Each structure stands twice: as structure tokens, then as C-alpha cells.
Amino acid sequence: MISFEEVKYYLPKYLTPESEKDLFQELKSFPDNIDSRLFTSYLKEEPFLFQGDGIEGLLFVNLPDTDIRKLRAVVLSNTCDISPQNKRLSRPNIVYSPILNLDKYARNLLDKGLIEKEVLTSHIESIRKQRVTSIFYLPKGGSLESESMVFFDKVASCDSNYLSETDIMSNRLFTLSNYGLYLFVLKLSIHFSRINEKLDRNTGL
């Protein structure tokens, strides 16, 4: 059994001792506790965007289709990078991915004949257990009334001025808890940053 002291080195350093131990307990129970514990109501009145926030009405275009739609989306950008308190020479963009309904995704795979029903059951279970590296599973919680998911390879961005403080507070669907954010950033890092291509990029001529 891995001890708290062993894992403590890898936990966020800004947490209180109590929050740190709570996060450790949640991680010990993973993946059997992927439920509303991924969310928190603690920051719902904050007028700022946080990494992992679910926001209603963000603009999305799925190239080469040029139609622009307003969708629910999860913020991928680091909180500090998009903070209005972080003064920059150039205004940052908010990077995000759309939130998709899990049931609709499953029905679409079956209707198009892309997967057998038995295989689909296993695939959906893998999504729910956060085992698919390109997908972040979102259980019901906050203002999400149904199970949902986020594809990390479906990404868009817009000017950070697109949302005012009022828009953020009224359109926020959820904010991730310490536990939810830990899983989110971990999966985001694995998807975008792991070096596993098995390719020698030798600089020799």
C-alpha cells in the first residue's frame, strides 16, 4: 500500500493539510469514486475562469466545416494564463474542448455500425473509468444533467475578452474539485505531453 507520505511529494503544494489528505483519500479510491466528487460548489460565485470549468455558449468550429456554433465546453487553458490579473503584452486566448453527451455518442457509434454492442459496453466502461487517454469523462454534477465526455483532440480557442465576468458566473456549468482537477490535468498531460512515439530523433547528420 502506498503511504500518504510517499504520494505527498506529487500532490499540489498550495493545499491545506486537510485538503491534501482529502485529495489523497480520493485518489486511493480511484477509479471507483468517479462521481459528483469531481465537482465543487466552493468557487461558483467567483467571476473568473478556472482550468477545467464547464462553460455554456463558447464558440466552436469543427474544421474543415466552417459553421460556427455555440456549445458547452471545458476550459483547457491554465488558470494563471487566462487570469485578468496576469498582465500581458498580448491578450491570451481561452483554449477549450466541447462537452459531448455520452449516451448520444454511444448511440451514434451503434447507428453508424462502427462498433458491436458487446464491444461498445466495454468501451463505455473504459471511458467511465478514465482509461481512454484522449477522453475525459464527466459524471452528472453541477449543472450537467447527464453523463458527458470531452475529447482532448477536439480543440478551439477564442479571445479571453469574449466572456465578461457576468457571462462566466451565469454560464458556468461546473468547477472541478481538487480531485477532479488532479485527474483532469493528469489526463491532459498524458494526452499532450507523454513521450512514447518510439522514434529516435537523433540530431546527427
Residue 2 lies in a domain: no
Residue 150 lies in a domain: yes
Respond yes or no on whether the N-terminal peptide bond of residue 64 is cis (omega within 30° of 0). Answer: yes
Give how far Cα 186 sits from Cα of 48, 85, 108, Å: 22, 26, 28
| Rounded Cα distance, 183 and 177, in Å | 10
Q: What is the CATH number of the domain that holds 153?
A: 2.30.30
Residue 187 lies in a domain: no
Phi, psi at 41, each rounded to 5°: -100, 0
How many domains, in total, are found in the chain? 1
Domain that holds residue 123: 51-82+93-174
Least confident of 77-81, 100-104, 133-137, 161-165: 161-165
Q: Do 129 and 121 meet the contact criterion of CB atoms below 8 Å apart?
A: no
| Rounded Cα distance, 149 and 151, in Å | 7
| Amino acid in position 15 | L
Q: What does the pLDDT look like over 101-155, one tens digit per residue? A: 999 999 999 988 888 888 999 999 999 999 999 999 999 988 999 999 999 999 9
Q: What does the pLDDT look like over 7-50, one tens digit per residue? A: 566 666 777 777 777 777 777 788 888 999 999 988 888 888 99
Q: Which three cell numbers stand for residue 117?
A: 454492442
| Rounded Cα distance, 43 and 177, in Å | 9
| Rounded Cα distance, 89 and 171, in Å | 28
- By CB atoms closer than 10 A (0-12, 13-18, 19+), residue 92 is middle
Residue 112 lies in a domain: yes
Residue 109 lies in a domain: yes
